[in-house]
Amino acid sequence: MREAYFKPYNLIFKQASGTSRGVLREKKTYFLILEDGQNKGIGECGLFKGLSFDDRPDYENQLQWVCEHIDLGLDELLKKTIDFPSIQFGLEMAFLSLEADDGFDLFPSKFTQGQDKIPINGLIWMGEKSFMKSQIEDKIKQGFHCVKLKIGAIDFEEELNLLKYIRQEFSAKDIELRVDANGAFEPHQALEKLKRLSEYELHSIEQPIKQGHWEVMAKLCEKTPLDIALDEELIGIQDVTKRQNLLQTIQPQYIILKPSLVGGFEHCKTWMKIADQHQIGYWITSALESNVGLNAIAQFTYSLSIKRPQGLGTGSLFTNNIKSPLEVKGEYLTYNPNKKWDNFNEIITV
């Protein structure tokens, strides 16, 4: 007989973090806890306000329903929560955790044994030009060879100047530059902006225009001088046939997979299978989960053996994150098996 309950938790940013959708100061998440009398399983339902497909008023009611019907089992619960991707992610994680010898070692590997590491990109948040410049300098000093800049909120010319500054100091061989517009460009201006960005030998741009404009995005992907990665475009596309239609129509160069936003690990694998059929690349990114969710995503990512840098460097953003074995060392995410999850039980106690 299983029992389940959930606990909301408010993550507080160390400093306000800017995106083209606004400034983030805190992020509410939910921990889903399963118990079977002997073992405990922990999952994180990483709802992202203003972005998640399941950001809706009845979210906590749905979580409560899941807890009351936990004995339906994982497969049936996943079918019943198809419109709640972040709950699906939390369920997958919690059931894996319940079955694991160590509740946090979900995908045992050389990574969780501390014998291997995951390359990650350094993340640069939007803000005043001087603030962004100091972040860039810090990441490069730390040893990052792949840096991702959030763009689209300050003056475009200033953003180009920042890219010019980096390229004057570091060639494309030294630093791989990715940018993320979070849908900030107007469709009629997007191609021209992509042309100007491409002068700085960027690796790719994420979501240049808002999601939902398939035909416009398809033309951009066809004509772009700069590789395009779909991100928000994948959110809410839960039907497999629609996923196939989307990638076949748009033909992007890459897709970005965030397990909290697309419905967990199995949904990520479905996206990857379709992407492989169309020779579309991909990488995995966290969506500002706590270290509990980040840990699960990192272990899953390692199991895929994707060589390019992943977007998993978000664990140090919060003042009150869960203490975990995850450590960023230079441009790598590592797992220190000698470190404990030593403050988690207090947080999830009812």
Instruction: Write out residues in the chain with pLDDT < 50, as ranges.
Output: none
CATH (residue range 118-345):
3.20.20.120
Alpha carbons 28 and 45: distance in angstroms, whole number = 10
Instruction: With beta carbons less than 8 A apart as the criterion, state whether 325 and 336 touch.
Output: yes
Say if strands 146-150 and 176-180 run parallel, antiparallel, or are unpaired.
Answer: parallel
What is the reported pLDDT for 4?
Answer: 97
Alpha carbons 162 and 246: distance in angstroms, whole number = 33
Beta strand extents in 85-169 (DSSP E only): 118-119, 122-124, 146-150
By CB atoms closer than 10 A (0-12, 13-18, 19+), residue 263 is: buried
105 three-state secondary structure: coil
Instruction: Name the pTM for this structure.
Output: 0.94
- For 155, other C-beta atoms within 10 Å of its C-beta total 9
Torsion of CA 12, 43, 286, 333, to 10 degrees: 90
- For 73, other C-beta atoms within 10 Å of its C-beta total 11
**pLDDT tens for residues 17-47?**
656 566 778 999 999 999 998 899 999 999 9
What is the reported pLDDT for 127?
Answer: 76
What are the structural domain ranges in the chain?
3-103, 118-345
**pLDDT tens for residues 289-338?**
999 999 999 999 999 999 899 999 888 889 999 999 999 999 999 999 99
What is the reported pLDDT for 125?
Answer: 80
Residues designated catalytic:
150, 258
Instruction: With beta carbons less than 8 A apart as the criterion, state whether 150 and 125 touch.
Output: yes
**pLDDT tens for residues 117-136?**
999 999 888 777 788 888 88
Alpha carbons 319 and 339: distance in angstroms, whole number = 19
Q: Same fold for the domain at 3-103 and the one at 118-345?
A: no
* Strands of the sheet with 176-180, listed across from one edge: 122-124, 146-150, 176-180, 204-206, 228-230, 254-257, 281-284
Instruction: With beta carbons less than 8 A apart as the criterion, state whether 304 and 284 touch.
Output: yes
What is the reported pLDDT for 17?
Answer: 67
Instruction: Please say whether the dihedral angle defined by the alpha carbons of residues 287, 29, 50 and 54, taken in this order, is positive or negative.
Output: positive
Instruction: With beta carbons less than 8 A apart as the criterion, state whether 8 and 290 touch.
Output: no
Superfamily of domain 3-103: Enolase-like, N-terminal domain (3.30.390.10)
Compute the mean pLDDT over every residue in the chain, rounded to the nearest whole number: 93
Q: Which two tokens stand for residue 160?
A: 């180009």
Say if strands 176-180 and 204-206 run parallel, antiparallel, or are unpaired.
Answer: parallel
- For 10, other C-beta atoms within 10 Å of its C-beta total 10
**Phi/psi at 293 (5° precision):** -70, -40
What is the reported pLDDT for 143?
Answer: 93
What is the reported pLDDT for 299?
Answer: 98
